[in-house]
Structure 1
Amino acid sequence: MAVGLLAKMPGLGISSVLILHVVGNMDRGFGAGSLVAAFWTAGAGLGAPLQGRGLDRYGLRKVFGLLVIAQSLFWGLAHFLPFPALVATAFIGGLTTLPAFTVIRLALANMVTEENRHTAYAVEAITTDVAYMAGPSFGILLATLASPTVAFLAMGTLLFAAGCAYLLLDPPLKAARPAADGPKPRLRSWLTARMVCALSITVATSIAVIGFEVAAIGTLQKSGQLQWSWLLLVVAGLASVAGGFLYGGMRRPPSVFAIGALLGVLCIPIGLASEWYWLCVFAIPANLLVAPALSASAGAVSGLAPDDSKGVAMGTYASAILVGNVVGSPLAGTVLDHGGPAASFAAFGATAALIAGLAYLCDLRLRSKGSDTPDARSEHLESSGALQ
């Protein structure tokens, strides 16, 4: 958990540091910086399932040995590159970034008993909230007080340290590795219809989370209250941490579909706030569900995946979060520009709730037919409350 937090902090602050590097060191605009960050995100989205497959087949140390070398080269050399080369290199950097989230969730699936797994995933989601509050702030602070180059190199140093720590600890992922002489897992062995439902609720959760961030910051900027954005993000993070503690303490947690749908619904009334302090107050109920939604969706995907495909399944889960980011960010921003704050919160909140509702109906139909339960795994999920 501690090493995972160390790896998540730079992972969540990379976009801010790349943008500030392009703006501060290359004298280009935020649009150009966002382009570099977008190429990094695209590479990370494509690389997550590939890295998960590598963890399944070759284990952590072989995969991380290559990734640590690749990340060291990128962060050590990329700040010397001209802008066109940086754009292309950022995609490769994202493709080879450390799969911190995937490794932690795989280790938890192997180290924690079934009855306590949702609690472990809740704690993992809480560390994500801490990293979310600390990582970007750390990068922005270094870029402001020192220089964007210092922030760039510090980010690379943190990733290198986290990668080396993973190599030393070698967390137990054996349950995610097939036997050397066994058949290679096929796509259809884990990407079942119910898995698609679980990934869909992950996308819905991500749309709500990133949509809230974009719409809230945009609302404060339009009203001339942007100086309070840091307090809003801290309130949102603390609410998510509190929600994670409450969820982790439940013996029988609610359905992941119910949590995801309610998260989307609770985002809608936030758009009614006109002052920064009301925005903070209205944001609390929705953000109480962020950590539970992330931990519940991670538990659902992990529980549905067979042991020899958990790595690629959790890598695909990370990609599903990025898909939600890609959908939610422009949706919230575009509607905010043309319809105002209330319309923006309503748009992404209703979209997240609708996706969650459709995923629930599809999963309900599959379970009633029994067409997607080839083994006892799905029955166990139903009884444990991971999906229903």
Structure 2
Amino acid sequence: MALDPYKRLFRLPGVRTLLLVGLIARIPTTATGMALTLYVVNGLGLGFGQAGLVTMASTVGMAVGSPLTGRFVDKYGLRPVLTVTTVAQAAFWAGAWALPYAGLVVAAAVAGLLGQPVFSVIRQCLAAMVPVEHRRAGFSLDSMLVELAYMVGPALAVAGMTTLGSGPTLAAIAVGLTGSGVALIALNPPTRSAEELKAPAARVPRRQWLTPAFVALLGTVAAATFVLTATELALVGTMEHADQTPWIGLAVSIWCLYSLAGGFVYGGLSRGVSPLALIAGMGLLTVLASLAGGDWWWLMLALLPAGVLCAPSLSSTVDTVSRWVPAGARGEAMGFHGTALLIGGALSAPIAGAIIDAHGPAWAFVVAGLTGVAMVLVALPFWRRRPQPIAVPAEVAEPVVATSLPLRNESVAYRNKLAIR
């Protein structure tokens, strides 16, 4: 692995600024789920079941709204969409404390529907600003920054709720989300490259890119987050059953570091790997983690091979979307990608939890891994009819990047960590 891909990436105009703004903008977004849960439990004095209903309403709203906001970005541009969603988030988080529980559930769903498309927008803009031959490094670095945001955001939400209280913490999130929106509006990164902007404007019909192969890709995305969510639940369950609860935070952090290391190494490779191979490999290696037993150190060692494939597995799907979908529909396609991420995590949490309660955490590793492998096998026949990748000009193409391998792996290991805590 070489650092040259990252050095070339940083020489591209505007990329460093976009990645830095993306990191900062994602931190308040990653804090919202944990803050909402703790507010319902501690601020309203209700149970985790009621808190789960609020977060479920928010998740459903985000799943529906993600492709819609992406389509609006494609049609109207970035600034109008960010303006509307930033105002909506500021209003919800500034006024959530005054709502009764029933009103909070409804408002959370609406706020989810009008959620800031920070994750998908950063990916979309990276695809526009970074040439095809440099995207692996760009998306891989972005995936590492997403991991950092998820390590910081929920922790800040917990610290705020336990030290400052519900009101100040919700207000701080409102300020953070507003600042994130304003920063992205001011930056206004391009959603299409200069070459794409030169092409004649034309409406891109969905049938051109929303094909069975693309749906199969979304299925593998959902399967990947299913594996990741179930793995973290099983990790937590294993440590609780072994009376090692105080070490859960350290164990989860180590697991995140595996993903960070995997993303960094993958971004420096000279060629990519199909997301089907990566997700299937992650699933099989997750099954092997079930053999580790109850000692958490052995479990962490057993999770190392699957852990280093986390960021590459998800990032490869982002790169595939950027290659398969025309620029005029890239925002909506990235929105569907985000919806698939949410669906996988939302389905995994109750299923893995039920398996852990009934049969123990080891079986959760097994079911999670086999689910990932099964989805890859289902997607395989459709994959052979995938769209042709975006062509790379001969004068800039790297010799090892062949168009017969369209599935380059980029980052953005976006996971719904609330569902697995």
Q: Same fold (TM over 0.5)?
A: yes
2-side partners of 1:131 and 1:206: how far apart?
17
Structure 1 residue aligned with 2:238: 219
Structure 2 residue aligned with 1:109: 127
Structure 2 residue aligned with 1:210: 229
Structure 1 residue aligned with 2:301: 281
2-side partners of 1:9 and 1:230: how far apart?
18
- Determine which of 170, 173, 176 is the counterpart of 2:188: 170
Give the CA deviation at 1:219.
2.3
Structure 2 residue aligned with 1:324: 344
- Determine which of 67, 90, 115 is the counterpart of 1:97: 115
| Percent of aligned positions that are identical | 33
2-side partners of 1:150 and 1:116: how far apart?
42
Structure 2 residue 166 is matched with structure 1 residue 145? no
Which secondary structure state, in structure 2, belongs to the residue aligned with residue 174 of structure 1?
coil
Structure 2 residue 272 is matched with structure 1 residue 253? yes
Give the CA deviation at 1:3.
1.5
Structure 2 residue 21 is matched with structure 1 residue 3? yes
- Please tell me the root mean square deviation across aligned C-alpha atoms, in Å: 2.2
Give the CA deviation at 1:149.
2.5
More deviation, 6-15/98-107: 6-15
Which secondary structure state, in structure 1, belongs to the residue aligned with residue 367 of structure 2?
helix
Structure 2 residue 184 is matched with structure 1 residue 160? no
- Determine which of 114, 118, 122 is the counterpart of 2:140: 122
Structure 1 residue aligned with 2:81: 63
- More helix per residue: 1 or 2? 1
Give the CA deviation at 1:300.
0.6
Give the CA deviation at 1:200.
1.8
More deviation, 130-139/194-203: 194-203
Structure 1 segment 338-357 matched on structure 2, within 5 A:
338-357=358-377
- Structure 1: state its 5+ residue gaps: 367-371
Structure 1 residue aligned with 2:93: 75
| Preserved contact between residue 296 and residue 386 of structure 1 (Cα < 8 Å) | yes
| Preserved contact between residue 243 and residue 292 of structure 1 (Cα < 8 Å) | yes
2-side partners of 1:34 and 1:179: how far apart?
47
Give the CA deviation at 1:346.
0.3
| Preserved contact between residue 331 and residue 348 of structure 1 (Cα < 8 Å) | no
Structure 2 residue aligned with 1:26: 44
Query: Which letter does structure 1 place at the counterpart of 2:360?
Result: G
Query: Which letter does structure 2 place at the counterpart of 1:194?
Result: A
Deviations 1:114-142 (A, max 9, x none): 11111111111111111111111111111
Give the CA deviation at 1:186.
2.2
TM-score of the pair, normalised by structure 1: 0.93
Structure 2 residue 335 is matched with structure 1 residue 315? yes
| Preserved contact between residue 234 and residue 365 of structure 2 (Cα < 8 Å) | yes
Which secondary structure state, in structure 1, belongs to the residue aligned with residue 287 of structure 2?
helix
Count of paired positions: 381
1-side partners of 2:200 and 2:381: how far apart?
40
Query: Which letter does structure 1 place at the counterpart of 2:329?
Result: S
1-side partners of 2:35 and 2:67: how far apart?
25
More deviation, 65-74/142-151: 142-151
| Preserved contact between residue 240 and residue 290 of structure 1 (Cα < 8 Å) | yes
Q: 1:252 to 1:180 in 2, by over 3 A?
A: closer
TM-score of the pair, normalised by structure 2: 0.86
Structure 1 residue aligned with 2:35: 17
Query: Which letter does structure 2 place at the counterpart of 1:281?
Result: L
Give the CA deviation at 1:59.
0.5
1-side partners of 2:188 and 2:391: how far apart?
30
Q: 1:225 to 1:149 in 2, by over 3 A?
A: farther
Structure 2 residue 212 is matched with structure 1 residue 193? yes
Structure 2 residue aligned with 1:264: 283
Query: Which letter does structure 1 place at the counterpart of 2:370?
Result: A
- Structure 2: state its 5+ residue gaps: 1-18, 393-400, 410-421
| Preserved contact between residue 56 and residue 178 of structure 1 (Cα < 8 Å) | no
Q: Which runs of 4+ in 1 moved over 6 A?
A: 176-181, 378-381
Query: Which letter does structure 2 place at the counterpart of 1:119?
Result: A
Structure 2 residue aligned with 1:135: 153
Give the CA deviation at 1:213.
1.5
Structure 1 residue aligned with 2:404: 383
Structure 2 residue aligned with 1:230: 249
2-side partners of 1:286 and 1:376: how far apart?
28
Structure 1 residue aligned with 2:57: 39
